[in-house]
Chains A and B, each alone.
Chain A
Amino acid sequence: MKPGLSGAKPDDISGFSRRDALRIFATQMAALALAGCSKPAEEIVPYVQMPEGLVPGEPLRFATAVPMSGYGLGVMGISVDGHPIKVEGNPRHPASLGATDVFAEAAVLSLYDPDRSRTPTMKGSIASWDAFLAALLLQLGKHDRNGGKGLRLLTGRVTSPTLLRQIDGLLARYPQAMWHVHEPIDDSLERDGTILAFGQALHVLPHLDKAEVMLCLDADPLGPGPSQIANARHWVEGRNPKSPSGFSRCYVAESRQTLTGIKADHRLALHPAGISEIAIAVANILGAGMPQPKLAPAAERFAKAAAQDLIARKGRALVLAGRTQRAEIHALAHWINAKLDAPVDFIAPFDRSSAHEPSAFAALADDLHAGRVETLVILDCNVGYDAPADLQIAAALDKVPFSVHLGLYADETAGICQWHLPQSHPFENWSDLRAADGTAAIVQPLIQPLYGTRSAHDLLTTLAGQDAASAYDLVRETWRSSAGASFEDWWRQTLHDGVVPGTAPRSVAAGTPRRPEVTSTKAQGDLTLVLSPDPSTWDGRFANNPWLQECPRPVSKEVWGNALSISSEDAKRLNLKTGDVARLSVKDRVVQTPVLVTAGCVPGVINLTLGYGRRNAGAIGTSIGTDAYGLRTSDALWTIDGVTIAATADRREILTTQNHVRLDGDARDLYPIRSLKDIAEAVEPDVTDRALPTFYPPVTPETYAWGMVIDTAACIGCNACVVACQAENNVSVVGPEEIARGRDMHWLRVDIYDHGAPADPKAGFQPVPCMQCENAPCEPVCPVAASVHDSEGLNAQVYNRCVGTRFCEANCPYKVRRFNFFGYADGQEYANLGADTLKAQRNPEVSTRQRGVMEKCTYCVQRISGARRTAKKEDRSIADGEVVTACQSACPTRAITFGDLNNPNSAAKNLKSDPRNYALLGHLDTRPRTTYLADLRNPNGALKEEHS
C-alpha cells in the first residue's frame, strides 16, 4: 500500500491517480471518525435527570441548626448548586426568630476553612480510619473485660437527644466508664444558684418581653451567647414607644461595659462585690432583712430607685444575675424574683440524659493525674487550650495510654492526644440539637462531607459497638416515638420547619425559693480581673474564622486581638497608655497583654476576654491576642481577685476599625438620644429630615424608590448585620497588617457614639451602610461615570468601569466606600484566604472585586433584582417586605427596615414619618435614602440628674 499523503513528496503528488487520491481521503476520514468516538478514561455522567427541585444557579433553602457551645440555633442554610453560601435565621425556631448572630453567619465560612483537619493522625503523623479502628477495637477489648474501668468520655455541653441516647448506650455497655463535660463558658453558677434556692438544678428562662422593669446584676442578656437573639428580640418588643403595653426600663449594674449596659436606661459601673451588695440592698428593701451593706451614695440611690421601680411593677419586674456573681447572689436573685413574681420560667436541664448526668471536668483531671484513666475519648472539645490553668491538663493527658480527639481542627488538644480524628462540620452530617430554651431541631446536612471526616455520632456508634447505623438512621430512631401516625410525613414536615414540634419547654414548678444566707464580701487585692466571653471568638472555638477575627468588637471596635480594658484612673495610677504591654500575674501565673484604656470601666476592675492566644488554631487564629485561660482557675472562673499588673517596655498597636466617638454640642446631631418623656411632650420633633431648597431638578422615580430606616434605639450593636453583609456580598477580609494601615472592607459599620463622660458613658450604636443619597456627592466627582444613580434610586457602583480615582470616597461625607488597595480577593489575599475551598462560599450573584476598584453597599441589589424577576414572572409589582437585605434579615431586633418609598403603605415609608426620623448629616442636603430613628431612652426621673 502506498504511503499516506503525509508521506508523499511534493514532486510525486503529480503522480497520483484519482483512485489514490480517493483512497487517501477515505483513510483520513476514517482516522478522523475514530478520533471522534474515543471517550475520556474517566466515567462522565450526563445531566439527564435533574435532581428534584434543583434548578442550576437557583438558591435553595434548607432548615437546619448550628451549634453554639452545645445549644442549637435554628437557621436556614442557603445553598447554590449544592454548596452552602449563606446562613439566615429560621423564623420558626425560638432561638432564632428569623435572625442570626455573628457566629451563625460565620459558620458557613468555617465549613470551607482550608485549615480544617482532613485525615486522622497518630501522634501527628497521618494515619487511616482503619488503622484507628483497629487500635480502638484492641483498646475496647480490654474495657469489654473490665467493664469500661478507666474509659472516659469528655464532651462539651451536649443537648443532642440522639447523642445523649448514644452516650447512654455507651455507659450501658461499659458501666464503669464515665462521661465528663467541659464547657469553658457554661452556666454552672446559675445552676448552683437554683440548687441553693430550690434544692434542684434548674434551667432558667427569663422572659424579657414580659419585664417592664429589668435589673441586671452584671448580667448581659443582650450580649453574645446562645440566647442573645431571643433575649434581644423580646427586650425590644417591650420597648416599642407605640405599643400600649408600655416601654420597659432597664437598670444595669455591671463591672465591665456590656451591650446591655450600653442599652440600659441607667447604668452603674461597680466592682462585682459592689454589685452583690446592690443585690442585697434590693433584697432588703423587699424585706429580706439581711445585714445592710455600706453602699456609696450613687449605689444607694441606684438600688433604691431600682427597687422601688421593681416593686411598683410587681409581676412585670425581673432581676438577672450574671456570671461574675456568686451562686448565693444567683439564689438571692431567684428569691427576689419570687417576691416580685417575675416573668421567669424554670425547666428541667436538658443537657443530660434521663439516665446519666455528666461528671465534673475537675474530677476527670484528678483521675488523669492519678493515672486512673486508661482510655480518653474527647468529642469536639478543646481542653488542651481552654481548661482552667490549675488543672495542668497537658501534663495530665501524657499519663493516658490511649487518648483520642475528634475535632474540626487539629488543635491544641489534638497535639496532646495520641489520636486525632477529623470531625464533620455541622453542615455535613445529620444530628439534632436543643435550643437554649429546650426546643429541639433536626440538623440536616447541606453538603456531602468535603473530606474523609466522621461525626460524633459515628464515633460513638463505634465506641458503643453498635452495628454501624448511620447518623441519619440514629436521628430518625430518636424521634420515631414522638412522631404521630405516619412518621415519614412528620419527618418531612419537621425537616421543612426546622423545629421538632412539641419539644417546646415545659416549665416545672420550682416552688418558693429559700433565701440564702449572703454575706457581703470585700475583694482582696487592689485589682480584680473580670473574664468574659469574646464577642468574636466566644471561648476560642471561632478563632480561625477570618470574618469573626475582623469583626470589630461592639464597644472597643478592636479587631484581630483582645486587649485588656482598663479604666483611665487605673491607667493613670499604673502609668499605662493604650497599646502598652502589661504583665498580669496571679500567684505564679503570668500573661502579657496590651492594655486599652476603655470608657465605662470600673476603677479597680480590669477586663479581658477569653478565646485568644490560641497556640494552634490555624493560619488565621494562631498566636493572636492574649490567652486569658492562663489566669483562669477552676475556683475562680470569671472574677480573679488580687491581680497584680506591671508595665513592660514594649508596646503593641491595638488594631481598631473605628473611633469610639464622644459627642458634645452640635456634634450630637450625629446621634441624637431622646427620652420617652420628651417624645411624649414634644409638639414639634426637633430632628426630622427637612427638604432644603435646591437648584437641581426634582428626580421622581416612576418605578420603585428603595429606602431604609434604621432604628438606633433598637440596635444593640451585635454586628450580625456586619457579618451577614460580608457573607452576602463577598466582602473581603484584609488581615491585621492592612487594618494597621487603616484599611478595611466592611460595607456596613456599626459606629458607637457616646454622650456621656469617660467615667459614665451614655453610648448608643449607629449602623452605617451607604446612605444611597439622592444628591450623592460621590457621583458627580467620578470621571468615568462608575458611580451613578439607577432608576430606582440606588447609588450604583459599576465595578468594571471604575478606574480607582478614589475621589468618590474622598467626597463621601459618611466614608462608607471601600477601596481595594490590594487584590484582597484578586490574588493578594491575606494568609490562606486565597484557597480554592473558600471560593465555594462566594455568592454567585455578586461579583468579586478587582484590585484598584472602589466598592460599597448596594442595598443588596442582587436580592432586589431577584425579587423583580419573580415579580415579573408572576406579572405583578414587588410587594412590601419581599426584598429583605442581608443586614435586615440578620438583625435580632429588627432595627433595619427596607422597602419601596413610592409605596405609601410600605413599612419603610411609614417609619420615615416617625417623629424620631432624621437624616445623618442632613444639613449637607445629600438627601440620603437611608435615615435613622433617634435613640430613645426611658430614664427614671428620680435618677435623672446623674445622667444630665
Chain B
Amino acid sequence: MTKPLVAEFSDPDSLIGAALRLKREGHQLLDTFTPFRLPELDDILPLKPPRIRLSMLLGGLAMAGFAYFLQWYSSVIDYPLNVGGRPLNSWPVFLLVPFEVGMLAAALSGLAAFLWTCRLPRLYHPVFDTTDFARASQDRFFLLAAQTAEEERRASLRELLKQAGALAVREQGS
C-alpha cells in the first residue's frame, strides 16, 4: 500500500485552491491540517455534519429529569417533612436544580461526543512523522491526498500540488 501525500502551503487561500483543483481532477482529498478554522473546507472535504448537539440535548434532558425525580422522591416519598407549611412537591423551586445540573450534563455529554467524533484523544498519528508538520499548528497549512497505484496519476498529483503553490510535497511520515 502506498502512503498518502502531504503538501505544505504557506497560506490558507493556496491550500483551498489546491484542494478545489484536486477535487476537480478527481484525486482523493483525504484531509487538511490548518492552524485555525477554515470554513471553506467544509464543502470541499467529504465531511458529514457532527451529531454533537443532539447528544448534548439528550444528556442535559436526562440529567435534569433525574434531578427532578430525585427531589420529588426524596421529599414526597422517602422522607416527607413539613417544611414551613410548603407543599411536599414544591415544583416551582424544584425546577432550579434540574436546570443547573442539566446544563452541566449537557456540556459533559457534549465533550464526550466531541472527543468521540474527533476520535480523540489520540496522542500519536502517522502524519505527525511528516517533516515540518509541527508547523501545522502554527503558521503552515497542510493537505493530505491519497495516492493511487498507477504511476502517472501519482506524478500528476504531485505536479498539481506543486502548481497549486505547495512549498513541499512529501509522503506521509517522511
Contact = CB atoms under 8 A, between A and B. Distances in A.
Q: Do chains A and B touch in the complex (CB under 8 A)?
A: yes
Contacts of B85: 696-697, 699, 774-776, 789, 927
Contacts of B81: 785, 788-789
Chain A, interface residues (CB within 8 Å), range: 10 to 19
A693 to B, nearest CB: 14
B156 to A, nearest CB: 72
Nearest to A773: B84
A780 B86 contact: yes
Interface string A767-805: 000000111111110100100111100000000000000
A919 to B, nearest CB: 15
Contacts of B86: 696, 779-780
Contacts of A774: 85
Interface string B151-164: 00000000000000
Interface in B80-103: 81-87
Contacts of A791: 82
A927 B83 CA distance: 14
Interface in A666-712: 696-697, 699
Contacts of A779: 83-84, 86
B144 to A, nearest CB: 56
Nearest to A697: B87
A927 B81 CA distance: 18
B87 A789 contact: no
B84 A780 contact: yes
B84 A776 contact: yes
Nearest to B75: A785
Interface of B: 81-87
B79 to A, nearest CB: 8
Interface of A: 696-697, 699, 773-780, 782, 785, 788-791, 927
B82 A775 contact: no
A785 B83 contact: yes
B141 to A, nearest CB: 55
A780 B83 CA distance: 6
A780 B75 CA distance: 12
30 contacts: A696-B85, A696-B86, A697-B85, A697-B87, A699-B82, A773-B84, A774-B85, A775-B85, A776-B84, A776-B85, A777-B84, A778-B84, A779-B83, A779-B84, A779-B86, A780-B83, A780-B84, A780-B86, A782-B83, A788-B81, A788-B82, A788-B83, A789-B81, A789-B82, A789-B83, A789-B84, A789-B85, A790-B82, A791-B82, A927-B85
B14 to A, nearest CB: 61
Given A697-B87, A789-B82, 20 more contacts: A696-B85, A696-B86, A696-B87, A773-B84, A774-B85, A775-B84, A777-B84, A779-B83, A779-B86, A780-B83, A780-B84, A780-B86, A785-B81, A788-B81, A788-B82, A788-B83, A789-B85, A790-B82, A791-B82, A927-B85
Nearest to B84: A779
Contacts of B82: 699, 788-791
A928 B82 CA distance: 15
Contacts of A776: 84-85
B74 to A, nearest CB: 10
Contacts of A790: 82
Contacts of B87: 696-697
A791 B82 CA distance: 8
B85 to A, nearest CB: 4
A733 to B, nearest CB: 31
Contacts of A775: 84-85
A166 to B, nearest CB: 62
A483 to B, nearest CB: 58
Nearest to A694: B85
A778 B84 CA distance: 7
A349 to B, nearest CB: 60
Q: Which of A775, A780, A791 has the largest count of B CB atoms less than 10 A from its CB?
A: A780
A699 to B, nearest CB: 5
Nearest to A793: B82
Q: Which of B81, B82, B83, B85 has the largest count of A CB atoms less than 10 A from its CB?
A: B85
Contacts of A789: 81-85
Contacts of A699: 82, 85
Contacts of A773: 84
B137 to A, nearest CB: 47
Nearest to B88: A697
Q: Which of A774, A775, A779, A791 has the largest count of B CB atoms less than 10 A from its CB?
A: A779
A785 B84 CA distance: 11
B91 to A, nearest CB: 12
Contacts of A927: 85
Nearest to A701: B82
Contacts of B84: 773, 775-780, 789
A775 B87 CA distance: 11
A58 to B, nearest CB: 32
A774 B85 CA distance: 6
Contacts of A777: 84
B54 to A, nearest CB: 35
Contacts of A788: 81-83
Nearest to A698: B85
Nearest to A779: B84
Nearest to A696: B85
Nearest to A789: B82
Contacts of B83: 779-780, 782, 785, 788-789
5 nearest A-B pairs in the assembled complex, by CB-CB distance: A779-B84, A789-B82, A775-B85, A780-B84, A779-B83
B95 to A, nearest CB: 15
A715 to B, nearest CB: 29
Contacts of A696: 85-87
Nearest to A777: B84
B169 to A, nearest CB: 65
A55 B83 CA distance: 38
A790 B84 CA distance: 10
Nearest to B83: A779
B81 to A, nearest CB: 5
A773 B85 CA distance: 9
A409 to B, nearest CB: 49
Nearest to B81: A788
Contacts of A785: 81, 83
